[in-house]
Chains A and B, each alone.
Chain A
């Protein structure tokens, strides 16, 4: 026992100092008007939260996060499940032809750092002849699409990039999940005359449910704390005209551009409760009997 305690002292201390203490501090800073350089912040009570309530840009950011929270998991899960199914159970002998190659290729985006992905897509989405997607349009004589410069399109471009980056990982995750489903279940169903869709919806999906839940929660949290893609890739950091801004970007802007650390901490506290709320909600909603295999 003493051995275990001794073993845990260091990590727990580090965790307390570098994780828990900053949390507690942030809750306190959120109640002050600290601007980052002065040594004695003034206590202002809940003023920051009142102000936050009437901050149109903040609510815009929240709405963008919510849109992503709903759409990102759904789109990624559908695509990833479809690919994973094709890779594993879609063909006659396991997966479609070349499934091993695809499995590796799909994982590529996951290997790239987020900042690299953002810079890459900046080029891909360029609105001139150097843009990979716009170059064909321009050479056909059409107007280029302002993927990142049109306020109506920009958020969808962000969503697209996020999906592109996330799908590969979940294909691999679901492939592993499908791989662990006993083969004879598929064979039995096939012998009973089940079609491919029936196989997918009656066998694969129910047996993969646990994994899908985890994936959904991961993706939900990804959608809530998205930052780097938006900050690096978009004009005006969350623009144009705030059309792609998200909560984390507003926190960063207020903290490190306006030096309103108190206000930014208040935003952080709200984001904290959003995330906790999402986690609790997911736990409640995903309570479901497990299917026993044996």
Chain B
């Protein structure tokens, strides 16, 4: 027994480390295949090599992958009958495709999204992501006299740019706000608040009514609440609040508007949260919302689609923007956090990158974007597509809010740029909401992490 036990020990000692390390295979040193563009023409402005296959990987998340199979791929196939399209879908983008990049044969077109997406910063730094300038300067799918860049939200181009070069197509437009049920609000005579005082009064009323809790958020994923906190801070202090945070400016987190916002959210956490919020995830809280256990929930415009299976038919999703805090807020009522998202990329070192760009051009057409909007019930970055379409109430409410906001839109990018900062802000925000961190300590703690990242030479820095 004794002998075999020792053998077993030695073997067992190796098991945990193997599990952790085996997945890190050293990269292959294969040279990248040289991508050559075929001749361009009016019918084929990007010079697609129609004789080479086009490999497409769609993230099988909230939007599924049917939109690619049923809308965009047939559009391309109709134009290039000889082009072989290899469709794939995955929930694990990084695990599936990372080895392809390391091995030097990446697929052409990737919807690099979801919790397991590949790090764009690392991909761009290594020259793996194709420049989208040829696409943006190409004539649009619908109108040859207009360039693609003039048919989409300029923010989409800005957000998809790395060091001034457009690399990533963020196709879906998302707006954030506070969601409620029109039915509940009508039955109780509640009104969407425009000022913070009205907001707290509304929540007091809801609390007093005893029918439901006033407010909840995805407590297990505090991103949902720090997003709102930053939006309120930017509304108080202006869009530069987010810009300075993105640029890792000194003291960007500890400015006065951030303190005001953090204080308001600490109060929100202390007084108005649904019981157990901190331990519930987005699905659990959203389901509670659908069951009329809670009145208000901050979320992005994907909410209605994500909840379509649990929402009562007469629920009537709608959203309102975060209310004004003071009369001297830097940005007016109606200001939205709006951000092009859902990233798509073309691999620079794939065999047929031009076909990937052409696929994007099809996505950005009126037909491609309009059908997408109807099918997955979300806004896109393509201008003027929603008009004349039959939209669900929540999507309509979001589209209206976006129109009403006009240029008063704010966004931040550090979440994608500095994943480590995101982890820290999530952790700290959860503690702020549950009262374990005071607003000042909360901001100082995050500032410390932001400074550490700023001083860390191994982290690539971005500017906007």
Does A210 contact B122, Cβ atoms closer than 8 Å? no
Give the complex CA separation of A134 and B278 in angstroms.
14
Judge whether A272 is part of the interface by a CB distance below 8 angstroms: yes
Q: In the complex the two chains form, what is the Cα distance from A25 to B9 in whole Å?
A: 23
The answer to the question of A109 belonging to the interface, with a C-beta cut-off of 8 Å to chain B, is: no
Q: Known interface pairs A146-B279, A278-B13, A279-B12. Does A39 touch B29 (Cβ–Cβ under 8 Å)? A: yes
CB pair A127 B119 closer than 8 Å = no
Let me know if A218 is at the binding interface, CB within 8 A. Answer: yes
Check if A187 is an interface residue, CB within 8 A of chain B.
no
Given B14, B222, B276, which contacts A236 in the complex, CB threshold below 8 Å? B222
Contacting chain B: which of A71-79, A93-101, A161-169, A261-269? Answer: A261-269
A236 touches B423 (CB 8 A): yes
Interface residues of B in 124-181 (CB under 8 A from A): 125-126, 128
B residues less than 8 Å from A22 (CB atoms): 18, 21-22, 24-25
B5 at the interface (CB under 8 A from A): yes
CB pair A235–B279 under 8 Å, yes or no, is yes
Produce 1/0 per residue, A59-90, CB < 8 A to B.
Answer: 00000000000000000000000000000000
Q: How large is the interface on B (under 10, 10 to 19, 20 to 34, 35 or more residues)?
A: 35 or more
Our pick among A19, A37, A265 for the contact of B122 (Cβ within 8 Å) is A37
Q: Which residues of A contact B98 (CB under 8 A)?
A: 36-37
Q: Does A221 lie within 8 Å of B427, measured CB to CB?
A: no
Q: Is the CB of A221 within 8 A of B278?
A: no
CB of A276 within 8 A of chain B? yes
A253–B423 CB distance below 8 A: yes
Q: Write out the residue numbers on chain B whose beta carbons fall within 8 Å of the beta carbon of A131.
A: 276
**B438 interfacial contact with A, CB 8 Å:** no
Which residue of chain A lies nearest to B92 when distances are taken between CB atoms in the complex?
A256
Q: Is the CB of A149 within 8 A of B434?
A: yes
A18-B22 in contact given A36-B98, A36-B102, A236-B426 (Cβ < 8 Å): yes
User: For chain B residues 350-396, which have a beta carbon within 8 Å of chain A?
Assistant: none
Is A258 touching B419 in the complex (CB atoms < 8 A)?
yes
Interface membership of B458, Cβ < 8 A: yes
Q: Is B43 an interface residue (CB 8 A)?
A: no
Query: Which of B5, B22, B122, B275 lies in contact with A259, CB distance below 8 A?
Result: B122
Shortest CB distance A160–B (Å): 15
Tell me whether A127 and B278 are in contact (CB under 8 A).
yes
CB pair B430 A235 closer than 8 Å: yes
0/1 string, B1-39, CB within 8 A of A gives 1: 110011011101111111111111111111000000000
Contact A282 to B27, CB < 8 A, known contacts A127-B279, A151-B431: no
Residues of B within 8 A of A264 (CB): 20, 24
A221:B16 contact, CB within 8 angstroms? yes
Interfacial chain B residues near A290, Cβ < 8 Å: 1-2
Is there contact, CB below 8 Å, between A256 and B116? yes
A271 and B20 contact, CB distance less than 8 A: yes
Q: Is B315's beta carbon under 8 Å from chain A?
A: no
Q: Which B residues lie within 8 Å of A227 (CB)?
A: 19
Interface string of A3-38 (1 = CB under 8 A from B): 000000000000000110011011011000111111
Asked if B29 and A40 sit within 8 Å, CB to CB, the answer is: yes
Chain B: CB-nearest residue to A42:
B458
* B279 adjacent to A214 (CB under 8 Å): no
Whether a CB of chain B sits under 8 angstroms from the CB of A106 is no
Central interface residue in A34, A39, A127, A214, by most chain B CB within 10 Å: A39
Contact of A149 among B15, B104, B123, B279 (CB under 8 A): B279
- Residues of chain A within 8 A of B423, CB atoms compared: 236, 253, 257
Task: Please tell me if the beta carbons of B126 and A241 are within 8 angstroms of each other in the complex.
Answer: no
B residues 413-447 in Cβ contact with A at 8 Å: 419-420, 423, 426-428, 430-431, 434, 436
Chain B residues with Cβ below 8 Å from A225 are 15-16, 19-20
The 0/1 profile, CB within 8 Å of B marked 1, for residues 202-243 of chain A is 000000001001100110010011010000000110011110
By a CB distance below 8 angstroms, the chain A residues around B20 are 225, 248, 251-252, 264, 267-268, 271
A147 at the interface (CB under 8 A from B): yes
Flag whether B259 is at the interface (Cβ < 8 A): no
Q: Is the interface of B mostly helix, strand, loop or mixed?
A: helix
Q: Bound complex: CA of A126 vs CA of B276, how far in Å?
A: 8
A37-B128, A282-B9 as given contacts; A271 in contact with B18, CB under 8 Å: no
Interface centre among B6, B18, B219, B426 (most CB of A within 10 A): B18
Question: Is residue B71 contacting chain A, with contact meaning CB distance below 8 A?
Answer: no
CB-based contact B17/A271 at 8 Å: yes
A23 and B18: CB pair below 8 A?
yes
Q: Within the assembled complex, what's the spacing in Å between the Cα atoms of A134 and B428? A: 25
Tell me, rounded to whole Å, the shortest Cβ–Cβ distance linking B142 to chain A. Answer: 36
Residue contact B12 to A148, C-beta cutoff 8 Å:
no
Within 8 A of A (CB), among B212-226: 219-222
* Cβ A236 vs Cβ B220 within 8 A: yes
Instruction: Give the nearest-CB partner of B32 in chain A.
Output: A39
Bound complex: CA A146 to CA B430 (Å): 13
Give CA–CA (A131, B279) in the complex, Å.
Answer: 11
Is the C-beta of B94 less than 8 angstroms from some C-beta in chain A?
A: yes
- Encoded as 1 (CB less than 8 Å from any A CB) or 0, chain B from 84 to 111 comes to 0000000000110010011010000000
B431 lies within 8 A of A221 (CB)? no
A117 sits at the interface (CB 8 A): no
B427 touches A29 (CB 8 A): no
A110 close to chain B: CB less than 8 A: no
Specify which chain A residues have a CB less than 8 angstroms from the CB of B281 in the assembled complex. 235
* Residues of chain A within 8 A of B2, CB atoms compared: 210, 290
Contact flag A241-B17 (CB < 8 Å), given A210-B5, A235-B220, A283-B6 = no
Q: What separation, in Å, do the CA atoms of A134 and B118 have in the docked complex?
A: 38
Query: Can you list 14 pairs linking A and B with CB atoms under 8 Å apart?
Result: A22-B24, A39-B29, A126-B280, A128-B275, A130-B284, A151-B431, A210-B2, A235-B430, A239-B427, A240-B278, A260-B458, A265-B21, A282-B9, A290-B1
The 5 closest A-B pairs by CB, nearest first: A225-B16, A149-B279, A127-B276, A127-B279, A235-B220
Beyond the given A37-B27, A268-B17, please list 18 additional residue pairs across the A-B interface where CB-CB is below 8 A. A36-B98, A39-B29, A128-B276, A128-B284, A149-B220, A150-B278, A221-B15, A227-B19, A236-B222, A236-B426, A236-B430, A239-B427, A248-B19, A259-B118, A265-B24, A275-B13, A283-B6, A290-B2
Give B residues with C-beta under 8 Å from A. Answer: 1-2, 5-6, 8-10, 12-30, 94-95, 98, 101-102, 104, 116, 118-119, 122-123, 125-126, 128, 219-222, 274-276, 278-281, 284, 288, 419-420, 423, 426-428, 430-431, 434, 436, 458
Q: Which residues of A contact B (CB under 8 A)?
A: 18-19, 22-23, 25-26, 28-29, 33-41, 125-128, 130-131, 134, 138, 144, 146-151, 210, 213-214, 217-218, 221, 224-225, 227, 235-236, 239-242, 248, 251-253, 255-261, 264-265, 267-269, 271-272, 275-276, 278-279, 282-283, 290
